[in-house]
Structure 1
Amino acid sequence: MSDSASGTGIPAAGHTAGVHRPASGAVVAVLAFAGIVVALMQTLVVPLLPELPGLLHASASDTSWVITATLLAGAVATPVTGRLGDMYGKRRVLLLSLGLLVVGSLVCAFTSSLVPMVVGRALQGGATGVIPLGISIMRDELPAERLGSAMALMSSSLGIGGALGLPSAALIAQHADWHALFYTSAGLGVAAMALVLFLVPESPVRTPSRFDVPGAIGLSVGLVCLLLAISKGGDWGWASGTTLGLLAAAVVVLVGWGMFELRTSAPLVDLRTTARPQVLLTNIASVMAGFSLFAMSLVLPQLLQLPEETGYGLGRSMLVAGLCLAPSGLVMMAVSPLSARISAARGPRVSLMIGMAVVAVGYGLGLFLTHAVWQVVVVASVIGCGIALAYAAMPALIMGAVPLAETAAANGLNTLMRSIGTSSSSAVVGVILAHMTTTYHGAPLPSLSGFRVAFAVACGAAVAALFIAAFIPARHVRATGGGTAKVPAPAPADEPV
């Protein structure tokens, strides 16, 4: 006795007869914890960045690969793990992703050399798909009344983990051997795996198909060329042959990949579904939202740590700077249920627009409120509030427009779009702060004007996301006995409803 989920007789989500399913609250808590653990991994090495050349006995340019490797691996792994989750089981692939995090953490924990460290960080990046996989499991397993708030929390876990991870990592690095950071990451990964194994059921929703190996290779090559050019262009020179060659190769490979995907019977990414206005515009807005999120992480810690003698720096330690940003993570956690309620009442498009408007206001405040620690905390909290509203709305928009059997792949692509935004933010803000400098004791430091320009650019990205979101097709809302329910547009005849 099963409903057809994908035209193949696969049971619909949450309706496996005779099988005891864990409480939905436990499923949400475990998946959100796994997402936060993955986000913590991404900020793990931030306190070590100034010291990495000495710790790894390598140049600053070479040690930057510790960050770049994680970025590239995550970009490649996210869409691939999403598709594998749809085909072979989302919980199974989520456990595999967390396993990569644990192995990568242990590799980093047992080395003080550059190459093994880069390999370990690349393995850690392979866990980036945990968040979109978790959102897809929630769609399959949770009752409708719990789904909105649960997805909001899971989607916001990326920002929550990043904000809470910075002070935690700084505290460990300041009071223990730096390898303890990676032992901690491995321990958290093992805990997340155990909780998922015992408390999260495997989704019955599958997409029987063959895996698109050529599509995975083509997308991986295109993304690596694109993100490598974006992340390393500042070091190599934006007009250098290497950077321009990689950008040109990315265009050629991705265009060829798109043509192949449109012709294959079982594509890695269904581009026809991706081209629907609701999906396409949400993904474009996600790039802008990712840009806005990461700009805060680049600018505010530097402002807090620069010497007070500069006239605008606040002279705080890395630990204090991290603690100042931690409230933004708590705000994200508190606000994510509000986004779900707004989406239920007015539709997720409205939540996305409100969120990006709040982010724009936060960066606008940052143009003026940077003269005291409490002002920086306020700015970070306002931006965090907007990011939570926006990030929580994105999976609802995506899943309202894709078939049930493609949710993991579609959410993985949306997460990839945010990653492209964060990578672009790192490159753009890095260029701004590198070229708008002042001299302090003979050394160049980012100037106050540079920070303000970075805030203005991030504000512009948030306004652009707001403008794009305004064109996302609206979803009508009807009253129900328990509040409101969204009425999506009818699915085409050849797709599951």
Structure 2
Amino acid sequence: MTHTSTGRPARAASGALVPVLAFAGIVVAVMQTLLVPVIKDLPQLLDTEASNATWVLTSTLLSGAVATPIMGRLGDLYGKRRMLIASLSVMVVGALLSAVTSALIPMIVGRSLQGFAMGAIPLGIGLMRDMLPRERLGSAMALMSSSIGVGGGLALPLAALVAQHADWHALFYGAAGLGVLCIVLTLVVVPETPMRAEGSFDLPGALGLSAGLVLLLLPVTKGSDWGWSSGTTLGLFAAAVVVLLVWGLFELRVKAPLVDLRTTARREVLLTNLASIMVGVSFYVVSLVLPQLLQLPTATGYGLGQSMVSAGLLVAPLGLTMMLTAPVYARLSARYGPKVTLLLGMFVIAIGYGAGLGLMSAAWQSLVISVILGAGIGLAYSSLPALIVGAVPASETGAANGLNTLMRSIGTSVSSAVIGMVLANTAHTVGGVAVPTMHGFRVSFLIATAAVAVGLLLAVFLPKQSRPAQHTQLRASSEEEAGIAHAEEALRGFSGRVLDADGAPVARAKVTLIDRRGRQAGATTSGEDGSYALAVPEQGAYVVAARALGHGPLASSATHSGGDEPVRLDLALPGDTVPA
């Protein structure tokens, strides 16, 4: 399959691109965390049974799981900025619907629509890959990936504050307002990427994956209510296996599949996705345990007696520390590679949960646990998109990161179900109310530690991503300084001319060759007549990017099928741009 650049960016990416896309991730996290402070009150608020009220949370999870890979693929095909705006728009509609109802069914519909916002994470990472220079990409993707934790950490105390002092529907009006603000900022700041994948949207694949995920996640999230050995739970698990197997066989036969399973089956992609599930499990355990421990009354003998808002503030450093680790990750990754930062992050998470087993007797200890776990989860989350981007072609970034985000969601779903079951089975009943026990909290932390240990083991077997050799960098540097005047100088690779919007040659334009792992494979500058030539190390898919002073950047995908003749590729740069 070949991929092409089917258009030019309307304008150059500004310095505000990364903050705006990270803000989109924060909005997603706010939408997810919105109802955490009022979970226990939902049956009364919606005038329904507790088992029915849980669908308000389950519906968001299911729709998010379905939407994430689908929106990623649609972004690859039709434009990531366009699909990002579409995802946020659906979320705003869902938030407004939830804001005006107190009935169960409309609330479930509204929360299902809000789940579509989950697609913003892979779409944002894909936009960054297409738009940003390589030296800024690592820290930008780290910030985008960790933004979901940042948003969750910040939203928890704010949502608790609103829930305590205002009508709970105000939460949804706030989420809708944030969504509208994010849409406006995206329209103003984020240019559309020219990168497009060829082919059409795989509708049967999307329906098959949707059905398989719903059949898998329904018993995961509802198993504790239905009974893990009940016919409904086991039947749905069996149906999920059958549907996903049939879907997988179908995807292998389709020319333009929703998910390229051959790429997904590569060792580096498969192990990264499996490790992502474990990181998702570890992230959600602390979010479930610490707020409950902090809010339990001191009369229990182990509860810390904090208010809803105080508990939120004590857990907030989890998200804030994740945000602060993004620049640290960028420096560590540049020196040692994302595999090392993933291993380091998981090791820090293990330390946090290990220490947490003995640090549950005072509120300040929860603060310490939050900071340690935030640092570890921030490093781990930041490493995941870099590992994925380095292992897939540029035109599959959206779909591949969508699948990776889905794996994290599955991790949090499994975590929610398992920890919910543990806390329920170890609870004491006091006055007809089930109260979680310290034993249940400690078992939950042990489960998180075990998940991190499995993740560490998986990460150890990831292949080390090689950095460009020093002599290659020196050669590229000398070529940039000297320039190449004539395209015929390359025997095997890409050659052509860099032109402006009127077809005139552009001299001294920087032309960069990027391989399918996202690494620089060569660089040069165009001659006085606009000509350039780049040799390729091997046949395959590449991205040829060009930039010049006074012109917008351009990235064009092309495939070299071997042979001694260079592939002709002219690069037409957009016109004058607003300075970044």
Which TM-score applies when normalising by structure 2? 0.81
User: Is the aligned partner of 1:496 residue 2:486?
Assistant: no
Aligned to 1:116: 106
- Match for 1:10 among 5, 30, 39? 5
Instruction: Give the corresponding residue for 1:225.
Output: 215
Q: Bigger radius of gyration, 1 or 2?
A: 2
Matches within 5 A, 1:296-335: 296-335=286-325
Taking a change above 3 Å as real, the CA distance of residues 36 and 423 of structure 1, as seen in their structure-2 partners, is same
* SS of aligned partner of 2:196: coil
- Deviation by residue 1:269-318 (Cα, 9 ceiling, x = unmatched): 00000011110000000000000000011100110011111111101111
Q: For residues 476 and 486 of structure 1, do their structure 2 counterparts lie closer, same or farther at Cα, with a shift above 3 Å needed?
A: farther
| Unaligned residue ranges in structure 2 (runs of 5+) | 475-516, 522-535, 544-580
Aligned equivalents of 1:174, 1:90: Cα separation in 2: 38
CA contact (8 A) 1:348 1:396 kept: yes
Deviation of 1:492 after TM superposition, in Å, equals 7.7
Aligned to 1:192: 182
How far apart are residue 487 of structure 1 and its match? 5.5
The Cα of 1:11 is off from its aligned counterpart by: 6.1
C-alpha distance in 1 between matches for 2:17 and 2:108:
33
Pairing 1:178–2:159 present: no
- Residue of structure 2 aligned with 1:50, choices 40, 46, 50: 40
Q: Is the 8 A contact 1:44 1:165 kept in 2?
A: yes
**What is the distance in 1 between the residues matched to 2:54 and 2:16?**
38
Whole-angstrom distance in 2 between the partners of 1:258 and 1:100: 29
- Asked if the contact 1:21–1:201 (Cα under 8 Å) also holds between the matched residues in 2, the reply is yes
Mapped contact 1:293–1:387 kept (Cα < 8 A): yes
For 1:137, the equivalent position in structure 2 comes to 127
Structure 2 residue 83 is matched with structure 1 residue 88: no
Q: 1:450 aligns with which of 440, 455, 480?
A: 440
CA distance in 2, matches of 1:116, 1:402: 40
Partner of 2:542, secondary structure, is coil
Superimposed CA distance per residue, residues 398-450 of structure 1 (whole angstroms, 9 cap, x where no aligned partner):
01010011000000000000000000001111111111123445643111111
**Which structure has the highest strand share of the two?**
2
What letter is aligned with 2:69?
P
Who is 2:16 aligned against?
26
Contact 2:121–2:145 under 8 Å retained in 1: yes
Q: Is the 8 A contact 1:475 1:487 kept in 2?
A: no
The one-letter code matched in structure 1 to 2:34 is L
The answer to whether the 8 Å contact 1:292/1:462 transfers is: yes
Bigger mean CA offset, 486-495 vs 257-266 = 486-495
For 2:394 and 2:19, the matched residues in 1 are separated by 23
Does 1:336 pair with 2:326? yes
Q: Distance in 1 between matches of 2:343 and 2:245?
A: 31
- 1:253 alignment partner in structure 2: 243
For 2:518 and 2:198, how far apart are their aligned partners in 1?
29
| Residues 422 and 444 in structure 2, CA contact (< 8 A), matched pair in contact too | yes
Cα distance change on mapping 1:236 and 1:401 into 2, 3 Å: same
Tell me the SS of whatever aligns to 1:206.
Answer: strand
Q: Distance in 2 between matches of 1:461 and 1:380?
A: 18
Does the 8 Å CA contact 1:346/1:477 hold for their aligned counterparts? no
- Which amino acid is the alignment partner of residue 325 of structure 2? V
Counterpart code for 1:496: Y
Q: Is the 8 A contact 1:28 1:150 kept in 2?
A: yes
| Secondary structure of the corresponding residue to residue 434 of structure 2 | strand
> Is the 8 Å Cα contact of residues 400 and 488 (structure 1) preserved in structure 2?
no
Aligned equivalent of 1:59, options 36, 43, 49: 49
Contact 2:277–2:407 under 8 Å retained in 1: yes
The 1-side partners of 2:411 and 2:304 are apart by 28
| Residue type at the aligned position of 2:150 | I
Does residue 428 of structure 1 match 2:422? no
* CA distance in 2: counterparts of 1:7 and 1:166, whole angstroms: 45
The aligned residue for residue 270 of structure 1 is 260
CA distance in 1, matches of 2:177, 2:402: 25
Contact 2:390 / 2:518 at 8 angstroms: preserved in 1? no
Q: Quick one: structure 1 residues 488 and 461, their matched pair in 2 at CA, closer, same or farther if it must change by over 3 Å?
A: farther
C-alpha contact 1:475 1:488 (8 A) present in aligned 2: no
Q: Is the 8 A contact 1:306 1:313 kept in 2?
A: yes
Query: 2:391 aligns to what SS in structure 1?
Result: coil
Aligned-residue Cα RMSD (Å) equals: 1.9
Give the structure 2 partner of residue 365 of structure 1. 355
Counterpart for residue 3 of structure 1 = none
- Superposed, 1:413-492 pairs within 5 Å as 413-441=403-431, 443-478=433-468
Does structure 1 retain, via aligned residues, the 8 Å contact 2:206–2:258?
yes
Which runs of 5 or more residues in structure 1 are unaligned? 1-5
| Gap change, CA 1:455 and 1:49, over 3 Å in 2 | same
2-structure distance, mates of 1:460, 1:476: 30
Return the offset for 1:380.
1.2
Which residue identity does 1:416 align to in structure 2? L
Amino acid at match of 1:157: S
Q: 1:251 to 1:378 in 2, by over 3 A?
A: same
